[in-house]
A and B are shown apart, each in its own frame.
Chain A
Amino acid sequence: MATALESKPEHVRLTEQGKPVTLLEAIREGLWEEMERDERVFLMGEDIGVYGGAFKVTEGMLDAFGSLRVVDTPISEIGFTGAAAGAAHMGMRPVVEMQFIDFIACAYDMITNYVATSRYRGSGAVPMVIRGPSGGYVRGGPFHSQNPEAAFFHTPGLKIVYPATAYDAKGLIKAAIRDDDPVLFFEHKWLYRRPQLREVLPKEDYVVPIGKARTHREGKDLTIVTYAALVHKSAEAAEVLEKEDGLDVEIIDLRTILPLDDEAIVASVKKTNRLLIVHEDTRTGGIAGEIAMRVSEKAFEWLDAPIQRVTAIDAPIPYSPPLEDYFLPQTDDIVKAARWLAKY
């Protein structure tokens, strides 16, 4: 019917050296550098070419790498996820974008039954990345705000990454692409363009290893284990707790959800003796349950208080502002829960 205009989006190669980048730009840089480094890497997804993706993560990449390596797909999550697996079998390193991570559910069968079991079944490793914007706090309603990590957390054979900083986002997307196993890479859309998260990234090539947590803030009174957007809400809470309660809160940013970095969690709990787990996903069957159990198995004797968690409530995510605010964990919730734990 219609042809796209000749005028292409501005060529947005890498941000200027030394200029601080957002989390979104950090991901673009990571993808870009991997595309340049390894010609087996290619991108697939809806509207990622001319349009540059719904959030513009892949902007400029079609111009730079051509349509063989930046492949616009029909609206076919099962189709392009399966196709990525096939390409990976043939030695490629596909990175597929879910326009919103909510739609990863459409490809659930392909990911859990086919991709995740491939190595185990003797069909070989499947080095592919599935990435996309996830998370709430943006009034996106029930289908543009979800955090589906726990649905895949229970699937052996997958790795799950969910960065909270620009530095980590770039280093982890690179690590994910270089990993021989299938990696789900969640990108929090509330963090994408937050000016506070701008960082100057190293000039040199670097990766952030998958499976390693990071201490976001050192402390001795209480450990908060968290990831993604809630790292920043936890940090806000820690500031309040320091000022108003004189509490010294340690924050562990998991960065990788699967596999979990037990060592880092346990070491922190052994130091502070109190654990609060904070995540944006809903409560029942969430990641917090597994973390609590592992700490109970490995560090029960060190605990001075029952492990607690701050999470979304067990409901679908609603749309209207007061409802979304109630549904999602807020900074104040973390403050209250931490206070209770500290006093216990």
Chain B
Amino acid sequence: MANRTPTKRAAAAIPHGLERAQLLEMYRLVRLTRALEEKLELLFKQSKVVGGLFRSLGQEGESVASAYALRRRDDGTGDVLSPLIRNLGSMLTIGARPDEVVRQYMAKGDSPARGKELNIHFTDFDRGFIGQISPLGDLVPVMAGVALTFRQRGEDRVGMVYIGDGATSTGAFHEGINFAAVQKLPLVVVVENNGWAYSTPTRMQTAARSFAAKAAGYGAAAEQVDGNDMLAVYGVAKKAVDRARAGGGVTLIEVQTYRRKGHAQHDAQTYMDPAEIEHWATTNDPVDRYVAALTQNGWASTKELAAIDAEIDRELDEMIAQAETSPLPDAEEARTDVTGDGPVAAPWYRLSPPDPVKA
């Protein structure tokens, strides 16, 4: 009785075949993404993050909602995605854990990449994510290959690859999506049009009218969607994933969103208009919009959502405290996993006594 939704009128019908529990799960994921990044920013300011920090503030909604359309499993039979720098939300949605992310950022020895790689550059094929590398665009052909294998093996699995508006200018992007389209592979290419690539506005990146319009040039299907409307993003992503699974080939989804922070923590975003950032923050925040949809349609109460928030904060504080006690990796770990043949040689001058002949 006590847990009844507070609205008197009947709840609106939930779109896209989603259930209430799924709506709440999506809420948890998007809030988790934002909260985790905020904690990481704090750690960064305390110099506990090694290297840089890239925020996805304002884009968490599309990240979570698109990945939510995938078939999520943890036994190597689900769909597979490859994120970009701003897809912490997609990673958490497909199954990466916040503590893994914190350890990665802190370069700990028990992070998934054991200190060799940074931020969300890590992989778990069972849970269905492949770590990106920094050179932009490279994961589009790689994900085409993942999708090619799904088809070769007759598995009804789908690949999803994220790419920024800037990164669509790379040769690798063109070659990858073209190959996937020719082969009619089960691949969804999510182009995140957030207005910027570092300091370069989108109009200096492409002369095309839209990214969705580019799809025709490859013979891929296209969708364009308001990236800050989570349910809309879920809807087009679900359609694209279903199409891919049914043998309908590649879909390019252009999500229209906005990068409210600078390129990275060190970027003072002087080239951006503060009024514009403010406008997006106050009128078009994906989390605010989702909360409004949930509460106004009678799908969730503010009290329910507040309980989820509190739980996330508690969880994250615990994880971070634990991660902080983890040791950095052993130096000699640097020699391992170059190939499968065992560690590479230690430099002779590090041996005791140093002897180049014996090393």
Contacts and interface: CB of A to CB of B under 8 A. Distances in A.
Question: Is B truly associated with A?
Answer: yes
A72 interface: yes
A325 B331 contact: yes
Contact of B115 (A74, A320, A329): A320
Interface in A265-291: none
Nearest to B332: A326
A315 B198 contact: no
Given A2-B201, A336-B354, A340-B349, A322 B115 contact: yes
A200 interface: no
Given A5-B273, A315-B335, A326-B331, A103 B135 contact: yes
Interface string A27-52: 00000000000000000001100110
Given A320-B109, A321-B50, A323-B329, A314 B117 contact: no
Given A2-B276, A102-B135, A320-B329, A141 B51 contact: yes
Contacts, number: 170
Contact of A319 (B50, B204, B346): B50
Interface string A301-344: 00000101011011110111111111101000100110110000
A182 B203 CA distance: 31
A67 B110 CA distance: 48
A297 to B, nearest CB: 20
A293 interface: no
Given A5-B272, A76-B169, A319-B50, A313 B329 contact: no
Nearest to B328: A322
Given A76-B169, A106-B135, A323-B115, A313 B50 contact: no
B107 A320 contact: yes
Interface string B124-150: 000000000111110000000000000
B356 A74 contact: no
A218 B272 CA distance: 52
A141 B118 contact: yes
Contact of B117 (A72, A319, A326): A319
A7 interface: yes
B171 interface: yes
A264 interface: no
B169 A79 contact: yes
A141 B114 CA distance: 12
Contact of A326 (B118, B200, B201, B334): B334
B338 interface: yes
A214 B238 CA distance: 63
B116 interface: yes
5 contacts: A75-B166, A105-B135, A141-B121, A310-B349, A337-B348
Interface of B: 50-51, 107-109, 113-118, 121, 133-137, 166-167, 169-172, 195-206, 258, 270-273, 276, 328-335, 338, 344-350, 354-356
Interface of A: 1-5, 7, 9, 46-47, 50-51, 54, 72, 74-79, 99-100, 102-103, 105-106, 139-144, 306, 308, 310-311, 313-316, 318-327, 329, 333, 336-337, 339-340
Closest 3 interchain pairs by CB? A320-B115, A143-B134, A51-B199
